[in-house]
Amino acid sequence: MLSNSRFLIRTLLVILVSTLTWIALSASAADSNAADGLAAWQKVYSVLTSPRCINCHTATNYPQQGDDRHRHFANVIRGLEGKGVPALNCVGCHQETNADSTGVPGGHNWHLAPLSMRWQDANDQPLSSAAVCRAVTDRSKNNGLDGPALLKHHEGEPLVLWAWNPGLRPDGSRRTLPPLSHAEFVAATRIWVESGMPCPQGR
Amino acid sequence: MATYELNVNGQRKQVNVDPSTPLLWVLREELKMTGTKYGCGISACGACTVHLDGIATRSCVVPVSLVGNRSIVTIEGIGGDPVGRAVQDAWVDKDVVQCGYCQSGQIMSAVALLKATPKPTDTNIEESMGGNLCRCATYVRIREAIKSASQQLK
């Protein structure tokens, strides 16, 4: 009888220790996963806030242009659908591809991102990493994209791809590229998505 | 050099030009259609505006190689359109023109506006015509003429 009790206690102890160890390891793995995801997000954020991307993710009534992100010239405005206004539509200058001989960038369906996807404040300052992450992961704001759809968007959306093929400026020099290659950007997005799309804390 | 078949004001035109040539210079130099004006050359003034499939387009920054099969309408052809005719009549009626250099672009933009927004407000006009500059500052008469054309098109 006593021997059976000891065996039972030992067995329970083994189970308890094993369970605690598994929980600790799992928590550690989850922490590591989240840390990897957050690190990957910061890489994604560095691209999203580069001029090639953020110039068309404004909070204002106009797009921006140039590495100094100045207001678009020629009194261009957003319009109801982010495509300019009649007689002053985006596609009135921006064609299906870059026009390197005249320095006008182009891509399919050139337009501004919707205001729900603004990554700047009203003073044209980029939002924080946490705020952009919240916007990007909010399906009520991001056109209903879940993680895999966001990854696909970063992999193949023509205007996303344009950022790595931005063409020549009117003076013939090359526009600057985002801080990561497209392959690195997609890889970072994949890690972030597979980590559960963690967002930094804070405003 | 390359050969392009262009649809200009409903007519087929063939040109043999460098692919990077802006549509403006194809119209003016190759086809001798000088109604479309060169102003700034960087799409900042609107003097070169034509319609590509109905979209008001700055022809000075669009290489001819990117035009494709789209229908090109210039100031020489816009009078064949009811809205274009109404705008041109209103321009005469309101005596809009001063030096006239920018006016073909102004008219092309005004037609594009009225086709999309038949009853434009002052704000609509200011926003849509904001890319067309006039050194003679005929803006008030332009606005009057657009409203007049809008009323004529009831």
Domain limits, chain B: 2-73, 78-152
Q: Contact, B150 vs B124, CB < 8 A?
A: no
Q: B124 and A170 in contact by Cβ < 8 A? A: no
Measured between beta carbons, the chain A residues lying within 8 angstroms of B39 are: none
Any B CB within 8 A of A8 CB: no
**How large is the C-alpha radius of gyration of chain A?**
24
Instruction: Give B135→chain A minimum CA distance, Å.
Output: 15
Averaged pLDDT score across all residues of chain A: 92
Is B124–A97 a contact, with Cβ atoms under 8 angstroms apart?
A: no
Give A6's pLDDT tier (boundaries 50, 70, 90).
confident
Considering the four listed CATH numbers 3.40.50.720, 1.25.40.10, 1.10.357.10, 1.10.150.120, the one that applies to the domain covering B78-152 is 1.10.150.120
Segment B37-57 shows an average pLDDT of: 98
Count how many domains chain A has: 1
User: For the purposes of burial, counting CB atoms within 10 Å of the CB of B13, is it exposed (0-12), middle (13-18) or buried (19 or more)?
Assistant: middle
Q: What is the mean pLDDT of residues B40-51?
A: 98
Residues A68-95: pLDDT tens digits? 999 999 999 999 999 999 999 999 999 9
With both helix axes pointing from N to C terminus, report the angle between B103-116 and B82-93 in degrees, rounded to the nearest 10: 130
Q: Mean pLDDT throughout A156-172?
A: 97
Angle formed at CA B50 by CA B47 and CA B51, multiple of 5 degrees = 150
Residues A37, A196 contacting (CB under 8 angstroms): yes
Find, in chain A, the residue whose alpha carbon is nearest to that of B118. Answer: A86
Q: Look at residue A149 and tell me if it is in a domain.
A: yes
Q: How many CB atoms lie within 10 A of CB B151?
A: 11
Binary contact (B20, A100; C-beta < 8 A): yes
The whole-chain average pLDDT of chain B stands at 98
In the prediction, which pLDDT does A4 show? 75
Asked if pLDDT for residue B87 goes beyond 70, the answer is yes
Token pair 């895999």 in the structure block, residue: A148
Q: Which domain holds residue A185?
A: 37-194
pLDDT at A29: 61
Assign A11 a pLDDT band (cuts: 50, 70, 90): confident
Q: Is residue A110 part of a domain?
A: yes
Q: What's the gap in Å between the CA of B40 and the closest CA on chain A?
A: 11
d(C-alpha B34, C-alpha B74), whole Å: 10
pLDDT, tens only, A91-145: 999 999 999 999 999 999 999 999 999 999 999 999 999 999 999 999 999 999 9
Query: What percent of chain A clears pLDDT 90, i.e. is strictly above it?
Result: 82
pLDDT computed for residue B48 by the predictor:
98
Give me the CATH topology for the region B2-73.
Answer: Ubiquitin-like (UB roll) (3.10.20)
| Average of per-residue pLDDT across A21-34 | 66
What is the average per-residue pLDDT within B142-153?
98
Position with higher pLDDT, A32 vs B140: B140
Whether the complex's predicted ipTM surpasses the cut of 0.90: yes
Indicate the residue type of A134. Answer: R
- How many CA atoms, within 13 angstroms, populate the side-chain half-sphere of residue A160? 17
Mean predicted confidence (pLDDT) in B96-112: 98
